[in-house]
Amino acid sequence: MEFSTTTFILEIINFLVLIWILQRLFYKPLLEMIAKRKQHIDQSLEKAKKLHDEAEEQRRLYENRQQLWEQEKKAAQSELHQQFEVEKSAQLEKLRRELEQERQKANVTLTRQQEEFQQHVEKQALENGARFAGLILQQTAGPEVENRLFDLLIDQLAFLPEAAKSSLQLADSKKSLIVKVSSAYLLSNDQRQQLEQKLGLLISPLMNFQYQQDTALIAGVRIDIGAWVLQANVRQELAGFAEIAYESE
Amino acid sequence: MENAYSFALGAVVISLSVITTWGIMLVLTLIAWLSTRSLKLFPGARQTVFESIVTAIDEAILAVAPEHGRQIMPFIASLWIFLTIANLIGLIPGLHSPTRDLSVTAALAVLVFFSVHWFGIKTQGLKRYLHHYLTPSPILLPFHIISEFTRTLALAIRLFGNMMSLEMAAMLILLVAGFLAPIPILMLHIIEALVQAYIFGMLALIYLAGAIQSQQLNPQE
């Protein structure tokens, strides 16, 4: 345990030199590097924080934009829905009117068809009725009926309207008139003379009478004087009956 | 035996402790130079080890003296590093710890003594620094002065005594018990070397921090 002043002094110097060396070569570079790394980390963290903040800002913007888009979408959907409802209502109204028109048209057509059908049926019924009546009268009619109709014709000639008489007289007074007399049964001579006398008095004495039998008349007489036709027969009456009944509708 | 390794440069006798200290300084200088030759922002394993050592020391110092830790860091860190190596170097056959030499431990203790006053005056000014010797009462001034010397002496004697006794005990056991028996003692030597280095450095740190922050601890004064 010796104390050496030289060693003491040298150790002090040594240690001070060691402090200086370590400070220059060891502590300072390492601490500077650590500080630099810390600064780098701080900068990285700051940059990361900045990026994070920017990302958050972008996210907020995106969310706001998305929210706006959602609102715009809902508004557009609502508007479209309203337009659709309006259009649908208009189309439905138009369709309803068209249907109404079509229904009215159909009703009119149906009514007309019904009326036509009814008229056709009625006409058919009348014709059938006339035909049946004709068949019955054809079976039941005979010379007696014809004689009575001939008498009726003779009687009626006296009561012809003046206009008809004048027309027959004006037909042609210079040459003889051809008078076609058709009857269901052949007229007797008396009847022919009676007819010729009556017509000669009524119209003109110059007449050429042509007689013929026409069973289609069923019973009675038909007289053709030029354009004029005087009829007193069952067939004409039946036809007239049917026409009158048809015209009365 | 120690004298056999010493030599004289004229009137100046260079002891083995000084030679060992130079060797330690040389090794530390080489290590420091190699370790910081190519520092990188993203460190490798070797750089990480050295940075961890410096960071651990720095944090320990800042924990005790947060405001002026960086000023005293080179001194305290150098104490810890030098004492750790100086205490452990005795484990290498043929070498002896410089710290088992009272001249070396006294030199370090005196450096601590002057460092306390140097940093105290530097940070607070001479008047304010000297004023703390009169607190809490001027009556305690002699005790403060005695304390300054005794704690410096204690620093030197504690380290010297522990290291010398440790090496002596290890040598005696080796002589008495043969080759394998001293191994546990060598383990104890390692622990004791580390503990003594830590104690010396931590006490120096506390003394320095106390001198630097004596006024800050009593701001009302």
Q: Within 10 A of B184 (CB to CB), how many other CB atoms are there?
A: 10
Residue type, A78: S
Q: Which residues of B touch A15 (CB under 8 A)?
A: 78, 82, 107-108, 111
Q: Do B110 and A33 touch (CB under 8 A)?
A: no
pLDDT-flagged residues of chain B (< 70)? 1-6, 178-182, 214-221
Q: Which two tokens stand for residue A210?
A: 């042509």
Within 8 A by CB and 6+ apart from B28, the residues are A18, A21, A22, A26, B81, B82, B85
Min Cα separation B138/chain A (Å): 33
- pLDDT tens, residue by residue, B147-159: 889 988 998 999 9
Looking at every residue in chain B, the average pLDDT score rounds to 86
Could you say which of A7, A12, A21 has the minimum Cβ distance to residue B32? A21
Report the alpha-carbon distance of residue B160 to residue B166 in Å, rounded: 10
Vertex B32 angle, CA B27 and B38, to 5°: 135
| β A220-225/A228-233 pair status | antiparallel
Min Cα separation A43/chain B (Å): 13
Report the alpha-carbon distance of residue A3 to residue B23 in Å, rounded: 21
Q: Do A14 and B39 touch (CB under 8 A)?
A: no
Q: Do B106 and A3 touch (CB under 8 A)?
A: yes
Q: Which two tokens stand for residue A231?
A: 């009829």
For testing the chain A interface, which of B37, B48, B97, B104 should be mutated: the one with the most A CBs within 10 Å?
B104
- pLDDT tens, residue by residue, B20-71: 999 999 999 999 999 888 888 888 898 999 999 999 999 999 999 888 888 8
Q: What is the ipTM of this complex?
A: 0.90
Report the alpha-carbon distance of residue B82 to residue B76 in Å, rounded: 10
Rounded percentage of chain B residues whose pLDDT exceeds 70: 91
Min Cα separation A44/chain B (Å): 13
Strand blocks (E) in A33-137? none
Query: Domain coordinates of chain A in residue numbers?
Result: 1-102, 141-248
pLDDT-flagged residues of chain A (< 70)? 1, 169-175, 204-205, 242, 244-249
pLDDT of res. A1: 58
CB A15 within 8 A of CB B38: no
Question: Is residue A22 within 8 angstroms of chain B, CB to CB?
Answer: yes
pLDDT of res. A75: 93
Question: Is residue A41 within 8 angstroms of chain B, CB to CB?
Answer: no
